[in-house]
Structure 1
Amino acid sequence: MGTDDITLSQLQSEVDDWIQTIGVRYFSELTNLAILMEEVGELSRLMARKYGDQSFKPGESADDIPSEIGDILFVLTCLANQMGISLQDVIQTTIKKNTKRDLNRHKNNPKL
């Protein structure tokens, strides 16, 4: 990792510090879920324009994709913090689950 890299635990702590000092408090979990869906929609719109058949509207740019991914990660981290979920634990569990389930699945997929 580079000097600017942070762990998932550090990410959760940094987001929590931001919420407590600048954001004042967390929005409700349901509100954050709605915000997460909104941010995913914004990423989807840009992806459809860059990789799909739609064209960009004035003021839109593929350069905004990283910002939208950052917004999604921020809100997802808020939700994890609110529910007491460790992002480190869940990603490790998910990787193990996917590895067990898909160990040979993708290698044997003639479409890939």
Structure 2
Amino acid sequence: MTLQAAQEAVDQWIKTVGVRYFSELTNMAILTEEMGELSRHMARIYGDQSYRKAEDENNAKTLMADEMADVLWVLLCLANQTGVDLTAALEKNFEKKDIRDASRHLNNKKL
């Protein structure tokens, strides 16, 4: 699925099943909440924290993938609400990075 198709699919779902978009500010708060949930899994899978329940640990990658999808969903909602074409925005972002970072990372001794 392309970003454009994802934006269209989310918009169609919102208009048929979801009734209407939440306000932009509410969706921004939800995005922050979803990022926190993703962060929780990242800290337990790749960081120093551990899960309290064995079933969460056994399902960790699935839980993390679900949270990533939730983050993407809300970001797509915000893009639709604010008139942002994410495909065009991402393409422009690549152009910016290609110019700005053309040799930056190649010359980074840390990498």
Asked if these proteins are the same fold (TM beyond 0.5), I'd say yes
Gaps of 5+ in 1: 1-5
Bigger CA drift: 22-31 or 62-71?
Answer: 62-71
Distance 2:38 2:52 in 1: 14
Aligned length: 107
- What's the TM-score once normalised by structure 2's chain length? 0.93
Q: Does 1:60 align with 2:21?
A: no
Bigger CA drift: 12-21 or 53-62?
Answer: 53-62
Structure 1 vs Structure 2 CA RMSD: 0.9
Q: Does 1:107 align with 2:103?
A: no
Letter in structure 1 aligned against 2:31 = L
Report runs of 4+ in structure 1 exceeding 4 Å deviation.
none
Q: Does 1:47 align with 2:42?
A: yes
How far residue 60 of structure 1 moved from its aligned partner, in angstroms, is 2.6
How far residue 98 of structure 1 moved from its aligned partner, in angstroms, is 1.0
Distance 2:99 2:19 in 1: 42
Structure that is richer in helix per residue: 2
Q: Does 1:8 align with 2:3?
A: yes
Residue-by-residue CA offset, 1:14-66 (whole Å, 9 max, x unaligned): 00000001100000000000000000000000000011110012153422111
Distance 2:44 2:9 in 1: 32
